[in-house]
Amino acid sequence: MNPETHLDGLRRQARDEPESGIVEIFNYGRNRDGIIPLWVGEGNLATPGFICDAARDSMLAGETFYTYQRGIPPLREALARYHERIHGRGFDPENFFVTQSGMQAIQLVIQAIAGNGDEVVMPSPAWPNYPAPLRLHGVGPVAVPMTMDEGRWHLDLDRLFDACTGRTRAIFINSPGNPTGWTASCEEILAIRDFARERGLWVVGDEVYSRFYYGPPRGSRMVAPSLHEICEPGERIIWIDTFSKNWAMTGWRIGWIIAPKELGQVLENLIQYNTSGVAQFMQRAGIVALEQGEAFVQEQVARARRSRDRVAAALSGSPRVSFALPQGAFYLFFRVEGETDTRAFAKRIVDEIAVGFAPGTAFGPGGEEFLRLCFARSQESLEAAMERFVPWLEK
């Protein structure tokens, strides 16, 4: 067989899916001398030692065998207690399903709710890892562009609802959002829930950044406005969550789904046929993160807030830059006047000043003219990046 025809033998959806626009720039610049990488969505802190110790101890104790598909019971219980603590209401361990990352949680949820010819509606700009896996499953992502004005990102709810058709299976809501930092208000969340309920649609809430919240204080609640606050029994809501961001565990690949109990057997089957579960020693580490990692989470959030303010102040030094101050997550999504091809612009920034931003083209409609920087990084690297970038812009 002619090897050149091998691609023709693939599924069209797999063959045609383009490379992630974030990874493209990452690969373009990762080996440059002195590069300051602000392109990927992770902090620079390693996982705290006490979490790593728990994984090591578990492994050495022989917890190296196949385990529960839904997650080990003590982790599901710890997850319920953690959510209880941060949301101030009760949770049942039976609603929790441990997955190999938030990304895999998204994959499993797509597999459970949508297939060929279906559509999923989502505000845009959005993390590219929603539309791509949807397309891979034959599902049409329907992007509803948000707009940035008066220093805020706005989601037009009428536009979001008008985009839902007879083919729509779900609305994906990522709040606080990657890449914009847009954070839905309680009223917006309620309106989306009511609309979805009326239409029998699923709401998939990606709340992986919920702890990284910089909006007005919310009493004893330690999180951004959340679908958990308005979820009633029987609601068609599924959550995506992860250990990656709160506890600096991006490389571990462990996350979770929260879903109605009735989905239990289906999700268990999907986990079985995708990965057959998450390593038990990682789950033990997850329990320790949830139960002993609160001070670490709070330090990270406080540090991210300070970094957000410093980066925002530095970027404000250029009359060419505009942005909305993010109310959550850890990205600053900014536009540079006169630069519309951000894919080429991001490469030029790598070439000329060795700073790595993600191009807005990666995030779909409404984001094309922006760049994204991750500010969950060290103070020194953010300062150095701004010292290179802001004066360079004025040249």
Angle at 326 between CA 25 and CA 336, to 5 degrees: 50
What DSSP character marks residue 362?
Answer: G
**Phi/psi-derived region of residue 333, left when phi > 0, alpha when psi is between -120 and 50, beta in every other case:** beta
Task: Select from 134-142, 239-247, 350-358, 374-382 the region that touches ligand PLP (CB under 6 A).
Answer: 239-247
Site for ligand PLP, residues 97 to 126, rule: CB under 6 A: 101-103
Q: Is 174 in the site for ligand PLP (CB under 6 A)?
A: yes
Among positions 47, 95, 107, 244, the unique one binding ligand PLP when judged by CB under 6 A: 244
Angle CA(231)–CA(139)–CA(203) in degrees, nearest 5? 5
Contact range with ligand PLP by CB under 6 A, out of 48-56, 227-235, 240-248, 383-391: 240-248
Q: In this structure, how many other beta carbons lie within 10 angstroms of the beta carbon of residue 318?
A: 18
Residue 37 CB, nearest approach to ligand PLP (Å): 14
Packing angle between helix 342-353 and helix 379-393, nearest 10 degrees? 110
The binding track of 261-300 with respect to ligand PLP, each residue x by CB under 6 A or -, is ----------------------------------------
Long-range contacts of 84-89 (CB under 8 A, 24+ apart): 85/222, 86/210, 86/211, 86/221, 86/222, 86/223, 87/221, 87/223, 87/226, 87/228, 87/229, 88/220, 88/221, 89/228, 89/229
Least distance between ligand PLP and beta carbon 98 (Å): 12
**Interface residue with ligand PLP, options 24, 119, 206, 369 (CB under 6 A):** 206
Contact 186, 218 (CB under 8 A): no
Q: Which of residues 303-322 bind ligand PLP (CB under 6 A)?
A: none
CB of 224 to ligand PLP, least distance (A): 13
Measured between alpha carbons, how far is 300 from 246 in angstroms, rounded to an integer?
8
For the window 350-389, what string marks contact with ligand PLP as x by the rule CB under 6 A?
Answer: ----------------------------------------
Distance of CA 118 to the CA centre of its chain: 23
Distance, in Å, from the CA atom of 366 to the CA atom of 249, rounded to the nearest integer, reads 30
Q: Residue 101 or residue 361: which is nearer to ligand PLP going by CB?
A: 101
For ligand PLP, give the closer residue by CB, 244 or 342: 244
CB of 120 to ligand PLP, least distance (A): 14
For residue 7, the minimal CB distance to ligand PLP (Å) is: 27
- Of 296 and 393, the one with the shorter C-beta distance to ligand PLP is 296
Q: CA-CA distance, 297 to 211, in Å (whole number)?
A: 8
R_g (Cα) of the chain, nearest Å = 21
When the beta carbons of 206 and 339 are compared against ligand PLP, the nearer one is 206
From the list 95-103, 145-153, 222-230, 371-379, the region that binds ligand PLP by CB under 6 A is 95-103
Contact call for residue 250 and ligand PLP (CB under 6 A): yes
Distance of closest approach, residue 101 Cβ to ligand PLP, in angstroms:
4
Residue with CB nearest ligand PLP?
102
Report the DSSP beta bridge partners of residue 332.
373
Q: Given candidates 67, 242, 280, 307, which one binds ligand PLP under the rule CB under 6 A? A: 242
**Interacting positions 36-55 with ligand PLP (CB under 6 A):** 41
C-alpha distances out from residue 155 to 194, 322, 384, Å = 16, 18, 34
- With respect to ligand PLP, which residue has the nearer C-beta, 69 or 178? 178
Q: Count Cβ atoms within 10 A of the Cβ of residue 178 and give its class: 0-12 exposed, 13-18 middle, 19 or more buried.
A: buried
How far is it, in rounded angstroms, from Cα 108 to Cα 18? 21
Contact pick of 144, 204, 208, 258 for ligand PLP (by CB under 6 A)? 208
Least distance to ligand PLP, CB of residue 214, Å:
17
**Of 313, 316, 263, 254, the residue nearest 282 (C-alpha):** 254
| Interface with ligand PLP (CB under 6 A) | 41, 101-103, 127, 174, 178, 206, 208, 240, 242, 244, 250, 255
